[in-house]
Amino acid sequence: MSFLLPTQILVYGITTGALYGLAAAGLSLVFGVMKMLNVAHGSLIMLGAYAVFWLFSLAHIDPILSLPIVGLFFFLIGTILYLLMFSFTARLSEENRIKNSLLISFGLMLVFENIAILLWTADERSISSFYSGKAFDIFGVRIPFVGLGGIALSIIVILLLNLFLNKTDFGRSIKAAAEDWETASLMGVNTNLIYLVSFALGVALAGIASILCGVTYAISPNIGLEWTNKSLIILVLAGLGNIGRVFSAGLLLGVVEAISVLFVSSSYREVVGLVIFISVLALKPEGFFSKR
């Protein structure tokens, strides 16, 4: 028993951390390329979870099968949001871009939460698919099917994102615009298109993450702030805009939170993440996984 309990908690931390990494990938992409801080990212995950809930309860579409529908729909939402709300900030200085995007996205966060209350009320909802709560045992350690699928999906999505950024011409153009958009423009890169696609892709990643969030946790309008906080902590841990490290940072946060439940109390789990956030900002602001 003394061996099984820590192992079980470690498994919980890894499965949770993989989801954290996937949830933060879109926020990291948008900040890394555009230097825009979208604090409505968690609210988009919340809306995506409700969209998955609707597809499951009304159209009887399994959450996993809804992935392409939700991904494409949120890519379209991201396109609209960028054109209507964020496009004018693209040519501002980096400092003003962060400030303006922060104000805009904070307003969107409040709007999205109230829209969710109007459409679904403040009551918690849940998605109970046939594999919800199912697990298999390895030497007495229970590994949930949803958690294992979340690890696989997170790894696949983040690997595909990195391959897209590093192995395709358009992806390399995104990285060039992230380094210096003015020089990239002089070299013929269409930075307006780059920013549009990057923002829409970041929102689409939030939609993909929402599928796992909806299957794993209860859904309510107030979960948006929680997922924004998790994503911001991982953004700082990985290094601002360091997309390749968000999965590792998510695993670290998930495992540390799980260990804190074992040695301290589940009541302090959220506090542990905030302590890590403040400590990294104070001691290593370039990110826990970044080199100076």
- Does 132 map to a domain? yes
Q: Is residue 291 part of a domain?
A: no
Which residue in 188, 282, 197, 280 sits closest to 239, CA to CA?
A: 280
Residue 87 lies in a domain: yes
Give the bridge partners for 136, in sequence order: 143
Longest dimension (CA), the chain: 64
Report residue 111's pLDDT band, with 50, 70 and 90 as the boundaries. very high
Q: For 139-178, what is each residue's pLDDT tens digit?
A: 777 888 888 888 999 999 989 998 998 899 888 888 888 8
Three-class DSSP category at 125 = strand
pLDDT for 292 equals: 54
pLDDT surpasses 60 at 3? no
Give pLDDT tens digits for 194-216.
Answer: 999 999 999 999 999 999 999 98
The predicted pLDDT at position 107 comes to: 94
Chain mean pLDDT for the chain: 87
Q: Of all residues in the chain, what percent carry a pLDDT higher than 70?
A: 96
CATH number, position 151: 1.10.3470
CA distance 224 to 221: 7
Residue 292 located in a structural domain: no
Give the pLDDT confidence score for residue 1 in this predicted structure: 46
Q: Answer whether residue 289 is part of any domain.
A: no
Q: What is the DSSP string of 76-110?
A: HHHHHHIIIIIGGGTTS-HHHHHHHHHHHHHHHHH
Mean pLDDT, range 54-66, rounded to an integer: 92
The residue length of the chain stands at: 292
Highest mean pLDDT pick, 51-60, 87-96, 243-252: 51-60
Kindly state whether residue 290 falls inside one of the protein's structural domains: no
Does residue 216 lie within any of the structural domains?
A: yes
Query: Which residue range is the domain that position 91 belongs to?
Result: 4-283
Please check whether residue 170 lies inside any domain of the structure: yes
How many independent structural domains does the chain possess? 1
Confidence (pLDDT) at 290: 63
The closest of 288, 208, 209 to 252, measured between CA atoms, is: 288
Average pLDDT over residues 93-112: 91
